[in-house]
Amino acid sequence: MNRYKMLGWKFKPVAPKQAIRVNVMNVEGVNVVERLERLGFKLEKIHFIERGYWVKRSSFSIGATIEYLLGYYSIQEAAAQIPATLFTDLKGKTVLDACAAPGGKTVQLADLMDNTGVIVALDVKSRRLNALANQLERCRVKNAIVYGLDAREASKLGVKFDRILLDVPCSGNFAMDKDWFKRRTIDDVHRNARLQRQILAEAAKVLKTSGEIVYATCSLEPEEDELNIDWAVKNLGLKTVEINCYGEESPTEIFGKRLDSSVRNCRRIWPGETQGFFVCKLERQR
Amino acid sequence: MFASLKGKGENMVETLESFAKFFGVKISLNKNFVRKGNRYFLLDERLRALAKEISGWQFAGAYLGKNKNGKFYPSSLLLFMITDQAENKIIVDDKAAWLFVCGRDIFKEGIMRVYGSKTRGAYTLVLNKHGECLGFGRITENLDEAKEGVVVENVSDIGDFLRRERTPKQ
């Protein structure tokens, strides 16, 4: 908690709100919000996400409706809805979702692409691949191809990508796990940060010249966030891009270390309206 | 009767076309139709090229269904694809719709409208009052004659997603 204070945030316990995202590709002529409200759910528009709603009241699980089974919406935490929206011009593109399972963001990408182009979705764990396939099936995604492959081996595919989503494995945050402080050590954070750098390096290899990478974590630890982006800018020939989204500008001095000034383009989301989150958009340096 | 829904050997096109025929729908599948293990997918040109070039994919394009123990189980996407053209369909009320996606059979009282066959043994799509396909079933009692009780047996429904998530081994 002291680390967060050093980054300028005063710790406060939070209870994240459940959120949904409407899959526009599946709801032509259907007013999903109205139908859910008729079932007794109270929804509130998420002010920073076009297709997102917070579930303010529910008498039963939001995942136990026919509308959910029909793929009309996905259950997706509000901050987690941000990364896919940061790409420009997704339709018809070749997109890599490097750590795709359980598939919430893959479905969101398909929705934003209106099922055009190609999404190559990777995940390394076979059990998680089943969850991913279930999501794709439920939401009637038609433009994805799924491989059981480690994101650190993406270049084995021999494909160059226009857009790459790196929703990398991370340490998580206390807002989503009440025992987080008991269960995590700084060694875990460092281990994840190393893995994330390896994934970033592989993504840089398979990115087209004019391509875009969106890097996201649900970690509040700078080693997994700003420090990794600083490293990527200095070592991978990437640069950060200004983004206009919910969250605070990232600090460029962390625990006494001065970072590349462009790291301020990243967004750090402290827990409050959402869980803790970090997001950044990268392009090749020209 | 259920046995007649079996996939016919290795001929995946025949399996799907004969499935659609049960509901009075004629579908023709093009060359972009592929089988992966016991599952069937429809791929566009770009996906097909990718799938051919990079083997080992686990899921791709539009998922149409799977063969399990010799029986064909359609995906919700395939059911959506045939809904408009299907001759055999029943519209059910909200309560029957929810019970159906929970894996239950349909009672006579829950049926609001019947299109096409009302004859025992026929297969019919099951739609909610919004016209959305929730799965399909087999008529177990002539719908003109039955007064109450179970009249359509649940064969496959979209609630399978939830049941699969709760039983990870399946």
ipTM of the complex: 0.91
One domain, residues A84 and A54: no
One domain, residues B42 and B93: no
The answer to whether the beta carbons of residues B135 and B150 sit under 8 Å apart is no
One domain, residues A60 and A143: no
Considering A40, A61, A76, which residue would you say is the last residue of a domain? A76
CATH no. for residue A52?
A: 3.30.70.1170
Give the model confidence (pLDDT) of A88-131 as tens digits: 999 999 999 999 999 999 999 999 999 999 999 999 988 899 99
Query: Number of folded domains in chain A?
Result: 2
Residue A114 lies in a domain: yes
One domain, residues A214 and A267: yes
Q: Would the CA dihedral through A267, A271, A273, A274 be positive or negative?
A: positive
Considering B20, B48, B82, which residue would you say is the last residue of a domain? B82
Extract the tokens encoding B70: 């010799």
Residue A177 makes CB contacts below 8 A (sequence gap 6+) with: A183
Query: Number of folded domains in chain B?
Result: 2
Considering B57, B82, B107, which residue would you say is the last residue of a domain? B82
> Number of A:B CB contacts under 8 A?
88
Q: Which domain holds residue B30?
A: 2-82
Q: Which of residues 25-64 of A touch B (CB under 8 A)?
A: 30, 63-64
Taking the C-alpha atoms of residue B6 and residue B2, their distance in angstroms, rounded to an integer, is 8
Task: Collect all residues of chain B within an 8 Å Cβ-Cβ radius of residue A66.
Answer: 97-98, 101, 128, 132, 134, 158
End-to-end CA separation in angstroms for chain A: 39
Considering B18, B48, B82, which residue would you say is the last residue of a domain? B82
Give the model confidence (pLDDT) of A29-60 as tens digits: 999 999 999 999 999 999 999 999 999 999 89
Question: Nearest residue of A to residue B99 by CA position?
Answer: A66
Give the model confidence (pLDDT) of B18-74 as tens digits: 888 889 888 877 667 888 988 999 999 999 999 999 999 999 999 999 988 888 889
Residue A223 lies in a domain: yes
Q: Which residue in B42, B46, B58 is closest to A148 by CB distance?
A: B58
Give the model confidence (pLDDT) of A246-283 as tens digits: 999 999 999 999 999 999 999 999 999 899 999 999 99
Distances (CA, A) of B63 to A11, A71, B84, B119: 46, 14, 19, 31
Residue A102 lies in a domain: yes
Strands A94-97 and A73-75: unpaired
Q: Which residue in A69, A142, A144 is closest to B158 by CB distance?
A: A69
> Residue A73 above 80 pLDDT?
yes
Give the model confidence (pLDDT) of B124-149 as tens digits: 999 999 999 999 999 999 999 999 99
Question: Region A195-217: what's the mean pLDDT?
Answer: 98
The answer to whether the beta carbons of residues B71 and B5 sit under 8 Å apart is yes
CA dihedral B51, B160, B121, B69 (to 10 degrees): 60
Burial of A234 per CB tally in 10 Å (0-12, 13-18, 19+) = exposed
